[in-house]
Amino acid sequence: MYAFSKSVKELRSSEIRDLMKLATRPDIISFAGGMPNNDLFPIEAIDEIYNNLDPKLKKTAFQYAPTQGYPRLVKSLRKFLKDKGLPVKNNKLLITTGSLQAINILTKEFIDPGDIVLTESPSFIGAISVFKSYQARMESIPVFEDGIDLGILRKKLESLPTLPKLLYITPNFHNPAGITYSSKKRKELLEFLANKDIIMIEDDAYGDLYFDEEIKDIVRPMKCDDPDDATICYTGSFSKILGPGFRLGWLLVNQEVYEKCELIKQAMDACSPNFTQVLANEFLEQGKIYPYLDMLRANYRKRRDLMNEALLKYMPNYVKWNVPRGGFYFWFEMPPKFNASEIMPIAIEKGAVFVSGKTFDPAGVKNNNFRMSFSNMGMDQIDKGVKIIAKSILEYESKLK
């Protein structure tokens, strides 16, 4: 056994990573991965973009980019974000290697071992791993249908020995909880943060994938209302739209936070892939992004509807869920004595897989929940897969009695 560093000793392969291997087995219907749908990637548009690139630009694509990002992408992305109401003028944009790197950079910037990071419970497993890798002390606050519980958050602050340095939240189409913060909750959270010296990371990986017009107004990033007396670091990604293979995300932060971010990134990987930055820029500059997003929203909405219909048909009545209004995920709550990890082998045996709740619990314990993603499988598999999961739960329950 090697003498691993303290910071990596506690890192374990997550159930979800192991499940990704199963996800590729053709006989299993996988609701596990949070991947976009392979058939929706803009392959023809990207072919056309690449084939029509000026030869000089092709050579640029093969080169290193400035650490901040390929300048034309920084410009076109600033416009894209500005159109959503984000305050690009008073903030700086950094292109990152996926938005997970954005979370990583911010954590490196602010967290020493033992510093407190507040997360939601449940929370995105990738972010939990990042916080662990910097030996943060994680304290979690439950999220409900309208967002984080501010009463518990206030109480938590009173009980902690020191002020948390970071608060990490995903207000839009939460992974895994599927919920979206209400406008009221967003306003209250901004008020709560005023003059607190707690830096908030607002992770908006799914915000463009809304399914109805009403929710479109609600998902306005909190960073848009960035007050002077609070610090919001906004992160986003091309992963759930153009594809995770681009490995492109971003960070929108104030000048002071930005300066260190750029230095940290320089030491991490010097720059994000210039090849995909050039392609992504053309996709934005040529305005291809807007009809493409419309197509994605319609397709994922259809999948959400098919899944909900199947759930209503097959799920036992003691399994509860919210209908997501965007994004990729349904999140389920079962009675407290249920253990999702014990249901999983039954489901896999029958030919379908989900992710059990403890994967997303910062403490790695609570397991009467599970997550099913509707993004990646064929639409014709949704009904069959849901039926298998529901049957597996019923079978498990009959043994519990």
Ligand X SMILES: Cc1ncc(COP(=O)(O)O)c(C=O)c1O
Q: What is the DSSP string of 17-86?
A: HHHHHHHT-TTSEE----PPPGGGS-HHHHHHHHHTS-HHHHHHHHS---TT--HHHHHHHHHHHHHTT-
Which is closer to ligand X, CB of 239 or CB of 281? 239
170 near ligand X (CB under 6 A): yes
For residue 138, give the H/E element and its range: strand 137-144
For ligand X, what does the binding mask look like between residues 366 and 385, x meaning CB under 6 A?
A: --------------------
Distances from the Cα of 387 to the Cαs of 35, 318, 372, 399, in angstroms? Answer: 22, 16, 13, 19
244 near ligand X (CB under 6 A): yes
Q: Under rule CB under 6 A, how many of the chain's residues touch ligand X?
A: 14
Contact residue for ligand X among 172, 175, 281, 373 (CB under 6 A): 175
**Of the ranges 93-101, 133-141, 211-219, 349-357, which one interacts with ligand X (CB under 6 A)?**
93-101
In sequence order, which residues have a C-beta less than 8 Å from that of residue 151 and are 6 or more positions away? none
Which is closer to ligand X, CB of 329 or CB of 332? 329
Closest CA to 255 of 280, 282, 283, 226: 226
For ligand X, what does the binding mask look like between residues 292 and 331, x meaning CB under 6 A?
A: ----------------------------------------
- The 3-state DSSP class for residue 202 equals strand
Which is closer to ligand X, CB of 60 or CB of 324? 324
- Is residue 123 a contact partner of residue 294, using CB atoms and an 8 Å limit? no
123 near ligand X (CB under 6 A): no
Which is closer to ligand X, CB of 327 or CB of 346? 327
237 near ligand X (CB under 6 A): yes
Q: Give residues 188-217 in contact with ligand X (rule: CB under 6 A).
A: 203, 205
CA pair distance 144, 83, nearest whole angstrom:
29
**Of the ranges 92-100, 291-299, 330-338, 382-390, which one interacts with ligand X (CB under 6 A)?**
92-100
Which is closer to ligand X, CB of 168 or CB of 321? 168
Bridge pairing between strands 369-373 and 116-121: unpaired
